Structure 1
Amino acid sequence: MLEYTFRIRHEGCWTENLNDRFPDISAAIIYSYRLLGISITMIEATNVSDADAFVEWLNDHEVMTVAQLVSYDADRETAFVSLAGDYETDTEPVLNVLLRNRCFPTVPATVTGGREHWSVIASDHEQVSRTHEELQKIGHVEVDSLRTPELDRLLTGLSEVKQAVQDLSPRQREVLGRAIDEGYYDSPRGCNIADLAEQDTANTSTVGEHLRRSEAKILKAVAPLLSRPKRNKETGRNRKTKP
């Protein structure tokens, strides 16, 4: 099993010149599939100050059949847009190439700086080589990494995170969910603890305590997935390994 991470400037695709028209917008490809010759895609775009102009630009793109605004949060400047595209051979969707070669995305692809960023799982080097050759036919490809994923560690970590979420009390889940929905963890923050308390029956101190306890449980479960230097228990300093 191999993890193949790459960037591609997808020639002729909307992703190639998105940032030429909208320099600040970043997009994530939530899903994409091909149906009766039409590619159906859902994207989440951030830093969208004018949703109508953004959707109009997508509608006018040469590979698009139709672009439709699904939802728009003006406060967060976030838009969900559904796309239908009639791709020709030289602008085939990247996901088609990946799935045809049995390479499966591990996270949604992101679009920044005129490039699509993908991370996929493949069975062997032959699959990766074949996929890479086909991708080069539709754009310029830059490989970020090719490595054996730590699947056991990843699966164990995900199981622990899931258990940590399940271990939250109903009140902790309620307060944490509201904080996420209201943009407490956005950058910049969409609200503060006082704002959250106004929507709750508890006071500011209690809401803050619910958040801290929830965060502690989840972060302790996430910690083993992070690659970081170990700390010396006696000094509290990071240990340095000799070269």
Structure 2
Amino acid sequence: MAQATLTITMPEQVWMWQVSTAYPETTFRMLEAVPGAGSGFALVRLTGADVAEAVDELDDHPQVSNLSIAGRTDDEATVYFDTTAPLLLFSSRESGIPIDLPVEIRDGEAAVDVTGSREQLATLAERLEQVGLRYRIERVEERPYESQLLSERQLEVVVTAVDEGYYDTPRRCSLTELADHLGIAKSTCSETLHRAEEAIVKRFVDEIPDSSPERLEDRLASD
């Protein structure tokens, strides 16, 4: 499986671009999104100084209907509504690759994470271009299943170490106490933790984003 992070620029004719660029200091975080036959449902949280005005503009937008407010404060509001222009949802559905939520939209651009096969990612790229969504690739990499990162034993030891407070500051559980809790030798516990920590840290470093703005197809083809 491959994982990609994209920054997608919305077309000027859709509500996401129009409202988010009208209020560039407001962040629109799409929490839930469900595509329908010709429309879509969205649950969106808005944060920023102009939340009230942005919600009013959303409510008045011709591509938005049935807007309701689920929660509201001076600088935050959560709303849900139907829209006739869910381009991201349609692109995701037609390429067969889900978009990881939440999606953050600000000043006309959406930060999107997707995970799928390289063929699915290439199909998504084609679909984005077909509906007028410009994008730049921030990162693309192979991502093994989580079960491949740690063995079952390593996972058990790491989870137990967290639960028992071994990684707390100050530490609530010593290595000796952790080994006793697991019923294994202290040396075995130490070695298992070290190998698991090595895998986790290397994964973390590997996932530091690459800012090179290459096209998705080019990155997929070159890897």
Normalised to the residue count of structure 1, the TM-score between the two structures is 0.59
State the secondary structure of the residue aligned to 1:29.
strand
Q: Is the 8 A contact 1:39 1:93 kept in 2?
A: no
Deviation at 1:30, TM superposition (A): 0.8
Matched residue, 1:23? 24
Matched residue, 1:64? 64
Matched residue, 2:83? 85
Q: CA RMSD in A?
A: 3.6
State the secondary structure of the residue aligned to 1:37.
coil
Q: 1:55 to 1:2 in 2, by over 3 A?
A: same
Matched residue, 1:100? 94
Deviation at 1:35, TM superposition (A): 3.3
State the secondary structure of the residue aligned to 2:205.
coil
Deviation at 1:66, TM superposition (A): 3.0
Structure-2 separation of matches of 1:164 and 1:84:
44
Q: 1:166 to 1:72 in 2, by over 3 A?
A: farther
Structure 1 stretches lacking a partner, 5+ long: 170-210, 215-220, 229-243
Residue 35 in structure 1 maps to residue 36 in structure 2: yes
Q: 1:150 to 1:50 in 2, by over 3 A?
A: same
Q: Give 1:134-153 correspondences, 5 Å limit.
A: 134-138=127-131, 139-152=133-146
Q: 1:155 to 1:28 in 2, by over 3 A?
A: farther
Q: 1:166 to 1:82 in 2, by over 3 A?
A: farther
Deviation track 1:75-98 (CA, whole Å, cap 9, x = no partner) reads xx22111121123xxxx4212211
Q: 1:131 to 1:167 in 2, by over 3 A?
A: same
Deviation at 1:212, TM superposition (A): 5.7
Structure 1 counterpart of 2:23, which letter? F
Q: Give 1:124-135 correspondences, 5 Å limit.
A: 124=118, 126-135=119-128
Q: Give 1:1-243 correspondences, 5 Å limit.
A: 1-11=1-11, 12-47=13-48, 49-74=49-74, 77-87=75-85, 92-124=86-118, 126-138=119-131, 139-152=133-146, 156=150, 163=159, 167=163, 224=201, 226-227=204-205
Structure-2 separation of matches of 1:54 and 1:6:
25
Structure 2 counterpart of 1:24, which letter? E
Structure 2 counterpart of 1:226, which letter? F
Normalised to the residue count of structure 2, the TM-score between the two structures is 0.63
Structure-2 separation of matches of 1:44 and 1:156:
35
Q: How many residue pairs align between the two structures?
A: 174
Identity %: 15
Deviation at 1:108, TM superposition (A): 1.6
Q: Is the 8 A contact 1:5 1:119 kept in 2?
A: yes
Structure-2 separation of matches of 1:36 and 1:57:
25
Structure-2 separation of matches of 1:168 and 1:95:
42
Q: Is the 8 A contact 1:31 1:42 kept in 2?
A: yes
Q: Is the 8 A contact 1:55 1:68 kept in 2?
A: no
Structure-1 separation of matches of 2:35 and 2:71:
23
Deviation at 1:227, TM superposition (A): 2.0
Query: Which stretch shifts more, 111-120 or 13-22?
Result: 13-22
Q: Is the 8 A contact 1:51 1:72 kept in 2?
A: no
Q: Is the 8 A contact 1:27 1:111 kept in 2?
A: yes
Structure 2 counterpart of 1:16, which letter? W
Matched residue, 1:197? none
Q: 1:20 to 1:10 in 2, by over 3 A?
A: closer
